[in-house]
């Protein structure tokens, strides 16, 4: 593959701490020589782990990739809170623990946060209110009502013994959560359920968009590769999708490549991957109201 040819697919990168997700995207853009690069789910600078980077036509799938569950491991510390809900912010509340909370009390608080929950996003977050991001209000010292958001906590549990020292308690956890969940806030909510300020003090994403950290490439390793070797690491679009496949005949392909609606296929609640001459061309979805299949993603109309 030559440098000027568009690369389509995914790179699964193990983002190091100290870099933003945009930093990673910028490096990948320079590495592959194309502008059309994005990521499926922001990681804060001091969070490491899986960052799925989409290239070329795979950027169309970012919204879908972000709907897939994410898994994290980390550490929660009880006894203080910060303005950012992690170690990046100033301490805003401290309460020394004289008698340690029992493991039963802590585990009960964690259990309460499993399943569907409502969260108030951190002030230092990218959620928009009246056209401005919350972190913009926070940096200006402005107070604004934060929207309540729904999240699904598929699994949240303690994974270590509880350490008690210097008026603090800390423990490791793992969590599998839906799109839009703030793990920082999950730590704060755990503390609130116990009755103590809390902070997320470590965090690693171990799975993102269905990709495990064991499948990821370390950034340093990736940056040392030659262009052709980078291309060889890219996961093709067709390997990312798991929806049913439909092979198109000539008439169907004519309709699909022209973006036409299709009414004579059987209804389904799943997307359809559409192939023509053994090549992935598009993805269609069924519109129950119109009782027709409509184009959802187009990858190739040639």
Active-site residue list: 44
* Residue 277, token pair as written in the block: 């001459």
Element of type H or E holding 64: helix 62-67
Give the tokens for residue 297: 């993603």
Structure tokens at 53: 């980077």
CB distance 193 to 112 below 8 Å: yes
SS3 110: helix
* Beta strand segments in the chain, E: 9-15, 37-39, 48-55, 70-78, 80-82, 91-94, 115-119, 128-129, 132-133, 149-158, 163-165, 168-177, 198-208, 211-212, 217-218, 245-247, 272-276, 279-287, 292-298
Angle between helical axes of 103-112 and 183-194 (0-180°, round to 10): 130
CA distance 9 to 70: 20
Q: How many helices (H) and strands (E) does the chain have?
A: 8, 19
């Amino acid at each position: 593959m030559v440098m000027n040819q568009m690369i389509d697919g995914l790179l699964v990168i193990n983002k190091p701490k100290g870099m933003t997700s945009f930093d990673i995207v910028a490096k990948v853009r320079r590495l592959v020589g194309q502008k059309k690069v994005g990521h499926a789910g922001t990681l804060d600078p001091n969070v490491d782990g899986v960052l799925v980077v989409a290239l070329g036509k795979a950027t169309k799938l970012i919204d879908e990739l972000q709907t897939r569950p994410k898994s994290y491991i980390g550490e929660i510390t009880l006894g203080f809170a910060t303005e950012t809900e992690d170690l990046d912010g100033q301490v805003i509340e401290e309460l020394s623990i004289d008698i340690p909370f029992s493991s039963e009390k802590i585990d009960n608080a964690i259990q309460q946060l499993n399943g569907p929950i409502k969260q108030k996003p951190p002030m230092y977050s990218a959620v928009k209110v009246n056209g401005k991001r919350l972190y913009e209000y926070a940096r200006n010292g402005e107070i604004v009502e934060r929207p309540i958001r729904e999240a699904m906590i598929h699994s949240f549990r303690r994974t270590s013994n509880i350490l008690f020292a210097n008026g603090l308690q800390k423990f490791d956890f793992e969590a599998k959560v839906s799109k839009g969940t703030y793990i920082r806030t999950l730590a704060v909510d755990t503390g609130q359920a116990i009755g103590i300020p809390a902070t997320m003090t470590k965090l690693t994403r171990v799975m993102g968009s269905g990709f495990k950290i064991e499948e990821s490439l370390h950034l340093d390793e990736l940056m040392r590769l030659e262009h052709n070797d980078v291309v060889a690491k890219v996961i093709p679009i067709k390997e990312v999708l798991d929806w049913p496949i439909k092979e198109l005949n000539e008439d169907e392909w004519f309709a699909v490549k022209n973006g036409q609606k299709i009414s004579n296929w059987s209804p389904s609640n799943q997307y359809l991957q559409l192939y023509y001459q053994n090549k992935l061309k598009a993805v269609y979805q069924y519109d129950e109201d119109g009782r027709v299949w409509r184009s959802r993603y187009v990858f190739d109309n040639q």
